[in-house]
Structure 1
Amino acid sequence: MTESIKNRYDFTILFDVENGNPNGDPDAGNMPRIDTETGHGTVTDVCLKRKIRNYIETVCEDKMGYRIYVKEGVPLNRSDKEAFVAVGVEEGNVKEKKKADPDLDSKIRDFMCANFFDIRAFGAVLTTFVKAALNCGQVRGPIQLGFARSIDPVVTQEVTITRTAITTESDAEKKTTEMGRKYIIPYALYRVDGYVSANLARKVTGFSEADLQLFWQAVINMFEQDHSAARGNMAVRELIVFKHDSELGNAPSYKLFERISVQRKADVIAARNYKDYEVTVDTNELPEGVDCIRMI
């Protein structure tokens, strides 16, 4: 098994959207998610992880050790069954197997971590079969992301659209076009902070250096294979990484994140481009044992 990572990392991603909906809220008619108190836009961690999973799946194409556990059209129990087969468990012999091998649950967990990249990276709730009385519990992944938040408050625009194709024969007798609507944000720059725990990688999932490099690649390109008319133009603009020279870290995360400043330029009234912002990273007198790497 590949050796797990040795260093803790804290990182910040800056990404933007132009004339699109970065993350619709199903409870609000699929409008872009907004903090109702401040007007800032938000994008969930689940949305960002989906993009990363999709990129990994596209690049690796079910390569051994780099499959995706949480994916569209594949029930989780279907993947769970593979682990049961690997350790010789069937629904009828669970009790006997557990008596003979008290570490059976951990062996199933290790199999899942070794075969599925997203479990190794983000963790998962491995409930497996309820009837089988096998429960690997919650695997806590070394990579954690928060919600992305826009730098400035956003304005959501409702755009009316038409189409010439009519749905039904009866409607075609009455009208020649149908109306619809979509929601867009003209422009917004978002920031999300994240963490990579070498301690959890070593103790739980075995997340390796090769996995980490693939993760950085996926972050940088997570919108490049995911273009859609609904999301407009989206791109990762900055990936700023603080690398600690130890497993547990050399400085608090918040002190490192505070060194990153993103400000709209003084002469810009309404930002409509990434160049309307100024991004600075204070690398003077970094805490001992911490390096700053701007990957984009």
Structure 2
Amino acid sequence: MTAIANRYDFVLLFDVANGNPNGDPDAGNLPRMDPETSRGLVSDVSLKRKIRNYVELAHQGEKGRHIYVEDGSILNDKHRQAYRAVRPGDEKVEKDAKLNPGSDEEADKLRKWMCANFYDVRTFGAVMSTGINCGQVRGPVQMTFATSIEAIVPAEISITRMAATNEKEKKERQEGDDGDGRTDNRTMGRKHIVPYGLYRAHGFISAKLAERAGFEDNDLALLMEALENMFEHDRSAARGEMATRKLIVFKHANALGNAPAHALFDRVQIGRNINGEFREVDDPTLDNHPPARRYTDYMVTIDRSNLPEGVEVIERV
């Protein structure tokens, strides 16, 4: 197969209910927020991680669908695999802690091997110069931070643990028994949740960079599949209930594109649904209405009038 021939831009909408979509380690794992607007944030890195996890889960072990950035993996071991393929029988490949390509031709072969074998390298790109040097790849697929449509108000929930960690702790709890047959719950914990938030992220797919990385039509189909289903296999107690709600794709008729991405994104408007009426989220009359707590509290509109020539709108979800 050949690389994709069309440029794509897309809008991804997903929501969270009673969960933490992306904790901030610099803020005690509170949900990420814009400090000036209080709108929630989910990093592009977090979204790419979910795509990687879905691809690995759905196509584990398949040729060309391996994942480069895995939890606990050693990147240089994967670089060494490329050198084994490009330099068969070379003893230095197994022994040396540092390896570098001997020529531009070899460097190109190493990059191509990494792209051909690792889905996330040919999709998102990678810097692979960590000691065992396989160069770097600019990925054709890039994503922005996701931002919530309205400000979020995170809630801190206290929880208790019934079980003891060890025998000593168990005895201490029993000593605190007040006679009702229940041991004292002394182990406390906290969970940070967003009661509800609808998030919007933008994505870009470059056909020209896809040509260099070998990103093909079947890779594009898998990316769309992952965006639609990645939350279905990413459940955890911390993240609550998350789901992809909309995936709107703008397909261009050629590799360079037929319109600026921002102009296409502006055609997708999201407002509050008040008895079937669209209202801007900054409409002051919304103060008289309760906060959004489900997806149907919002309304999504797509302006399809006077679309630029060569641009097609595809609603995948």
TM-score bracket for the superposition, by shorter chain length = over 0.9
User: What is the CA distance between 1:269 and its match in structure 2?
Assistant: 2.4
In the alignment, what sits opposite 1:166?
Answer: 164
User: What is the CA distance between 1:229 and its match in structure 2?
Assistant: 1.1
**Which is worse superposed, 71-80 or 236-245?**
71-80
In the alignment, what sits opposite 2:253?
Answer: 245
**What does residue range 115-264 of structure 1 map to in structure 2 within 5 Å?**
115-129=117-131, 134-136=133-135, 138-175=136-173, 176-177=184-185, 178-202=187-211, 204-264=212-272
1:287 aligns with 2:308: yes
Write the distance in 2 (CA, Å) between the matches of 1:50 and 1:223: 11
**Which is worse superposed, 80-89 or 34-43?**
80-89
Opposite residue 179 of structure 1, the aligned amino acid is M
Contact 1:7–1:249 (Cα < 8 Å) also in 2: yes
Kindly tell me the number of residue pairs found equivalent between the two proteins.
288
Write the distance in 1 (CA, Å) between the matches of 2:236 and 2:248: 26
Contact 2:274–2:297 (Cα < 8 Å) also in 1: no
Opposite residue 114 of structure 1, the aligned amino acid is A
Query: After TM superposition, which residue ranges in structure 1, 4 or more long, deviate above 4 angstroms?
Result: 91-97
Seen in structure 2, the aligned counterparts of structure 1 residues 164 and 291 have a Cα distance that, compared at 3 Å, is same
Opposite residue 145 of structure 1, the aligned amino acid is M
In the alignment, what sits opposite 2:176?
Answer: none
Write the distance in 2 (CA, Å) between the matches of 1:70 and 1:140: 15
For structure 2, the 5+ residue unaligned runs are 174-183, 276-288
Contact 1:250–1:287 (Cα < 8 Å) also in 2: yes
For structure 1, the 5+ residue unaligned runs are none
Write the distance in 2 (CA, Å) between the matches of 1:135 and 1:277: 47
**Which is worse superposed, 30-39 or 260-269?**
260-269
Opposite residue 105 of structure 1, the aligned amino acid is A
**What does residue range 60-99 of structure 1 map to in structure 2 within 5 Å?**
60-88=59-87, 90-91=92-93, 98=102
SS of residue matched to 1:284: coil
In the alignment, what sits opposite 2:280?
Answer: none
SS of residue matched to 2:232: coil
Opposite residue 107 of structure 2, the aligned amino acid is D
User: What is the CA distance between 1:103 and its match in structure 2?
Assistant: 1.0
Write the distance in 2 (CA, Å) between the matches of 1:183 and 1:97: 48
Find the structure with the greater CA-based Rg. 2
1:114 aligns with 2:112: no
Contact 2:15–2:242 (Cα < 8 Å) also in 1: yes
SS of residue matched to 1:184: strand
In the alignment, what sits opposite 2:5?
Answer: 6
Seen in structure 2, the aligned counterparts of structure 1 residues 97 and 291 have a Cα distance that, compared at 3 Å, is closer
SS of residue matched to 1:263: strand
Write the distance in 1 (CA, Å) between the matches of 2:241 and 2:100: 56
Contact 2:158–2:191 (Cα < 8 Å) also in 1: yes
Write the distance in 1 (CA, Å) between the matches of 2:168 and 2:261: 62
Please report the RMSD computed on the Cα atoms of aligned residues, expressed in angstroms. Answer: 1.7
Contact 1:33–1:41 (Cα < 8 Å) also in 2: yes
Query: So what's the TM-score if we normalise by structure 2?
Result: 0.87
Opposite residue 78 of structure 1, the aligned amino acid is D
User: What is the CA distance between 1:285 and its match in structure 2?
Assistant: 1.0
Indicate the percent of aligned positions where both proteins have the same amino acid.
50
Contact 1:129–1:135 (Cα < 8 Å) also in 2: no
